[in-house]
Amino acid sequence: MSAVTTAMPNIGIRPTFARVTRSEWIKLRSLRSTLWTAIATVVVMAGFAALFAWALTSFADGPPADATALTIGYPIAQLTVAALGALVVTGEFSTGAHRSTLAAEPRRLRVVLSKGLIVLGAGLGIGVLAVGASLAVALPILQAGGVDVELSGDAIRALVGTVLYLAVSALFAYGVGLIVRNSAAAITTTVGLLFVLPIIVQIAAAMTGVEWLWDAYEYLPSTAGSAITGMSMGGAGSLEPWTGFAVFGGYTAALLVAGAFAFSRRDD
């Protein structure tokens, strides 16, 4: 007499958005490049803040120093966090690890969103550390040199804005990475859009005297976005802080949408 067996259903753990996001956070946290990027960003920002504070001690009898100026190293910090944002996605493409990610979670849009959320969180965290380190290093130097520091409402907004600007810069590069899928190409494209393009437009505007080029310059990604830092790269016609940041956010959103579309349409 043969025994009767009943096949048990294969019950697996459904990958929720929270689980996917937690997995992406573990992957990012385990990368050595994440730690080195955070350290480099903090050291660069704090180093520039210390040098600038030391220079300001020569003007101890002058007006109070604006705390906004202590984040003068943000353009270089922007480069480091942008590199991290790009590598979050391009690193997986270069190693083929994205196939394992998609095998665990086939819904590609969810993967894009979870990675983007982690990039934003990492950018915010690194930005807070960098701005905090800048103040922690520079303020004692200024106080020892007899220089007063003005911490007005605009200065606080600019300090917070610097953190936001760095975080969105990481998202900007993440969007580029989703589109080009190559680490070197993503970083080169991001540097070109954020750093090289404004220089080219400035030179062209100065050489030709064409007024609309100066107007266009104010709406370039980094020129518009930097308005929120209190140290805008723009000229007299710079956008208002939150307006400029909204323009930068619009560019970033467009890249993310294009990147998500490209990621969802490709075979691998």
Q: Which two tokens stand for residue 255?
A: 């890249």
d(CA 261, CA 9): 35
Question: Under a CB-based contact definition with an 8 Å cutoff, are residues 176 and 88 in contact?
Answer: no
Q: Torsion angle, CA of 72/78/84/90, rounded to 10 degrees?
A: -160
Residue 2 lies in a domain: no
pLDDT of residue 91: 86
Residue 49 lies in a domain: yes
pLDDT band at 203 (very low <50, low <70, confident <90, very high): very high
Residue 140 lies in a domain: yes
Residue 9 lies in a domain: no
Question: Under a CB-based contact definition with an 8 Å cutoff, are residues 77 and 229 in contact?
Answer: no
Mean pLDDT of 151-166: 91
**122-149 residue pLDDT tens:** 999 999 999 999 999 999 998 888 888 8
Q: Which two tokens stand for residue 114?
A: 């979870």
d(CA 190, CA 205): 22
Residue 65 has pLDDT above 90, yes or no: no
pLDDT of residue 155: 87
Model's pTM, two decimal places? 0.88
pLDDT of residue 234: 59
Single out the residue of 193, 184, 171, 194 nearest to residue 257, CA to CA.
Answer: 171
3-state DSSP helix/strand/coil percent for the chain, to nearest 5? 80, 0, 20
Give the distance, in angstroms, between the CA of residue 190 and the centroid of all CA atoms in the same chain: 11
Rg over alpha carbons for the chain, rounded to the nearest Å, is: 22
DSSP, res 226: G
Mean of the per-residue pLDDT values of the chain: 87
Pairing between strand 65-66 and 149-150? parallel
Mean pLDDT of 246-268: 91
Residue 12 lies in a domain: no
Residue 194 has pLDDT above 50, yes or no: yes
Share of the chain above pLDDT 70, in %: 90
Range of 137's domain?
A: 17-265
- Angle at which helices 32-56 and 108-144 cross, to 10°: 30
pLDDT of residue 61: 67
Question: Under a CB-based contact definition with an 8 Å cutoff, are residues 169 and 225 in contact?
Answer: yes
- Which has more confidence, 68 or 132? 132
- Which has more confidence, 63 or 230? 230
pLDDT band at 4 (very low <50, low <70, confident <90, very high): very low
Residue 185 has pLDDT above 80, yes or no: yes
Mean pLDDT of 61-67: 72
**208-227 residue pLDDT tens:** 989 999 999 999 999 999 99
Residue 7 lies in a domain: no
**165-179 residue pLDDT tens:** 999 999 999 999 999
Of the listed ranges 13-17, 188-192, 237-241, 249-253, the least confidently predicted one is 13-17
Concatenating the DSSP letter of every residue in 143-197 gives HHTT--EE--HHHHHHHHHHHHHHHHHHHHHHHHHHHH--HHHHHHHHHIIIIIH
Residue 163 lies in a domain: yes
Tokens 């911490």, residue located = 151
Phi-psi group of 9: left, alpha or beta (phi > 0 → left; psi -120 to 50 → alpha; rest → beta): beta
**89-124 residue pLDDT tens:** 998 877 777 777 777 777 888 999 999 999 999 999
pLDDT of residue 236: 52
Count structural domains, the chain: 1
C-alpha distance from residue 87 to each of 90, 116, 121, 175 (Å): 5, 12, 15, 11
Residue 10 lies in a domain: no
Single out the residue of 182, 167, 22 nearest to residue 92, CA to CA.
Answer: 182
